[in-house]
Amino acid sequence: MSMVLRPMDRGDIAAVAAMEETLFGAEAWSPELLATEVTVDPVSRYYIVADDDGVITGYGGLFAQRGGQADVLTLAVAAHRWGEGIGTALLEGLLSEAARRGCTEIFLEVRVDNDRAQRLYRRRGFTDIGVRRAYYQPSGTDALVMRLIQEPAPAAKKEHLAGRQRGRRDR
């Protein structure tokens, strides 16, 4: 297998939208929404795909502003490729980017009945912090809110400290 994780681009939207439809049905993001998300603001968004010799096998998205909180916006793997570690690799890719951006708190919402995804997140250190009632529409399913606290990447940490020192000198 020659799988790589790489940034999602406009050329991936059709394949990703087809997976959305299959995996999330009525709650799927439309191709238009996906296209907007992927292009709107690279400073706050980060979308990646798992590319296996030109075939998209999974994707993930992150909202993360430098030094702020981050949210895992989406994560999915083609059903016939589940259990190979692709979901874990994608999540790792998103969390590394969050750390590079200096984000120490990462949140996500997951359906209360999605045991498989919850196991993946718990294994990576996410813990439950609450429930959002009827978060998923049109089904009205509740969302479990999970959070991970992590260290910023070393470079982001240095930047953060330098910023604080600059702030002190300015006063």
Ligand X SMILES: CC(C)(COP(=O)(O)OP(=O)(O)OC[C@H]1O[C@@H](n2cnc3c(N)ncnc32)[C@H](O)[C@@H]1OP(=O)(O)O)[C@@H](O)C(=O)NCCC(=O)NCCS
**Binding residues for ligand X, per CB under 6 A?**
23, 75-77, 82-88, 110, 114, 116-117, 119-120
Q: Taking Cα atoms as reference points, which of 2, 38, 42 lies closest to residue 20?
A: 38
CB of 70 to ligand X, least distance (A): 15
By beta-carbon distance, which residue lies closest to ligand X? Answer: 87
CB of 73 to ligand X, least distance (A): 9
CB of 116 to ligand X, least distance (A): 5
Q: Measured from the CB atom, is 81 or 100 closer to ligand X?
A: 81
Nearby residues of 72 by Cβ (< 8 Å), 6 or more positions away = 60, 61, 62, 91, 94, 106, 107, 108
Q: Measured from the CB atom, is 69 or 114 closer to ligand X?
A: 114
Q: Measured from the CB atom, is 102 or 121 closer to ligand X?
A: 121
CB of 159 to ligand X, least distance (A): 30
Q: Is-contact 109 143, C-beta < 8 A?
A: yes
CA 170 – CA 162 distance, rounded (Å): 12
CA 122 – CA 142 distance, rounded (Å): 18
CB of 140 to ligand X, least distance (A): 17
Q: Measured from the CB atom, is 57 or 104 closer to ligand X?
A: 57
Q: Measured from the CB atom, is 97 or 102 closer to ligand X?
A: 97
CA 78 – CA 56 distance, rounded (Å): 8
Residue 10 DSSP label: G
Residues making up the chain, counted from first to last:
171
CA 73 – CA 75 distance, rounded (Å): 7
